[in-house]
A and B are shown apart, each in its own frame.
Chain A
């Protein structure tokens, strides 16, 4: 069966510090991978998605970046965090199904607080 891991679970960082969040998927190959952010009381906002190694699409301009160095590894980074970067960061994966995105499955998330 497939599992998705994220770490750390919780993070408190000062403004201006760097960020690195990691997501790994087990039990599947060549998945689509996604990074979302959920602000308090709001819906999920897609930040990045990847259809393969080294292939990253950005949905919104911001001070975050993503990388996919391996097939089942997805990393979210920032060089300098802003207060507005606080939120619940969720990684998700889906199976490629004839070009149509199938169901997305979410990792446990990282709760980031920027102070």
Chain B
């Protein structure tokens, strides 16, 4: 089992749709979690940090379920500019593990 697993997608959704990504992790002692966004041929940029049960920032909501060892990212009212790859990152004792990413395309 991979340490961090994500559905690679692609997710193709129309503008205004709500889309959710899941990420599962194998180390139950993981301490903190992050979602990064990566545009094509660019560096990853931090989208959200998740230290407790969840976090909300505008149209983006991240939730953490420690019992089931998964993190989710919900995007409401999708914009064309949300098209990117979303990386799930799990931290355990200063060891950050990255998922391979979920690709999202928002279409007009």
Contacts and interface: CB of A to CB of B under 8 A. Distances in A.
A107 B87 contact: no
**Which 3 A-B residue pairings sit nearest by Cβ, starting from the closest?**
A43-B100, A106-B43, A101-B94
A104 B96 contact: yes
Contact of A44 (B41, B42, B98): B98
B41 A107 contact: no
Interface in B66-108: 87, 89, 91, 94-96, 98-101
B76 to A, nearest CB: 24
Contact of A106 (B31, B41, B45, B100): B45
Taking residues whose C-beta sits less than 8 angstroms from the other chain, chain B's interface range is 20 to 34
Taking residues whose C-beta sits less than 8 angstroms from the other chain, chain A's interface range is 20 to 34
Contacts of B43: 90, 106-109
Nearest to A90: B43
A97 to B, nearest CB: 10
B46 A90 contact: no
Contact of A103 (B4, B34, B98): B34
B91 A101 contact: yes
B42 A108 contact: yes
